[in-house]
């Protein structure tokens, strides 16, 4: 846990929180932005309607530690399928990829295979998200 490390030795965790595709539900994304900021992280929130290309570019340009998606309208699998090769092409596979939102359990394996190890379905707690990021950021 990062709490055991000396604060001065770790740089602030930087998160890109993106809204993929056409989904307009941003209440969840916005509250998670606030929770991560309150936990001391630096958060770049993309706003709605980001393409896979835009997300990969921002993740690279901003040199983030975490690439987080919030998806509630059901298109997470096709979207992540498009995003994965773009993140890899930008050599971002060593970053932490996480996803939250309306993510049925039956899709979790597919999301893990697409590189999204941290999966936070609706109902996940802020602490669970924050702890996971702190533990898994390299």
**94 CB burial (10 A radius; 0-12, 13-18, 19+):** exposed
Distance of closest approach, residue 110 Cβ to another protein, in angstroms = 13
CB–CB of 29/17 below 8 Å?
yes
Q: Based on CB atoms, which residue is closest to another protein, 6 or 106?
A: 106
Near another protein in 40-99, by CB under 8 A: 45, 47-49, 51, 73-75, 78-79, 82
Q: Based on CB atoms, which residue is closest to another protein, 10 or 38?
A: 38
Distance of closest approach, residue 137 Cβ to another protein, in angstroms = 22
For tokens 């990969």, the residue is 56
- CA–CA distance, 117 with 125 (Å, rounded to integer): 17
Among 5, 10, 12, 37, contact with another protein (rule: CB under 8 A): 37
Encoding tokens for residue 27? 């209440």
Encoding tokens for residue 109? 């394996």
Among 12, 93, 122, 135, contact with another protein (rule: CB under 8 A): 122
Does 12 contact another protein by CB under 8 A? no
Residue 105 has φ and ψ, to the nearest 5°, of: -55, -35
Strand order in the sheet with 42-45: 42-45, 14-18, 66-71, 96-101, 118-121
Q: Based on CB atoms, which residue is closest to another protein, 48 or 136?
A: 48
**Which spans of this chain sit near another protein (rule: CB under 8 A)?**
21-27, 30-31, 33-35, 37, 45, 47-49, 51, 73-75, 78-79, 82, 102, 104, 106, 121-123, 125-127
């Amino acid at each position: 846990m990062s709490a055991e490390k000396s604060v001065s030795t770790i740089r602030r965790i930087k998160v890109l929180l993106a809204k993929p595709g056409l989904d307009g539900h941003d209440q969840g994304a916005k509250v998670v932005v606030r929770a991560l900021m309150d936990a001391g992280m630096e958060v770049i929130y993309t706003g709605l309607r980001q393409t896979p290309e835009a997300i990969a570019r921002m993740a690279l340009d901003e040199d983030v530690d975490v690439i987080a998606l919030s998806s509630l309208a059901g298109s997470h699998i096709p979207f992540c399928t498009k995003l994965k090769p773009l993140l890899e092409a930008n050599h971002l596979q060593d970053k932490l990829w996480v996803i939250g939102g309306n993510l049925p359990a039956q899709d979790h394996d597919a999301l893990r295979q697409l590189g999204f190890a941290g999966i936070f379905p609706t109902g996940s707690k802020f602490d669970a998200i924050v702890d996971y990021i702190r533990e898994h950021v390299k």
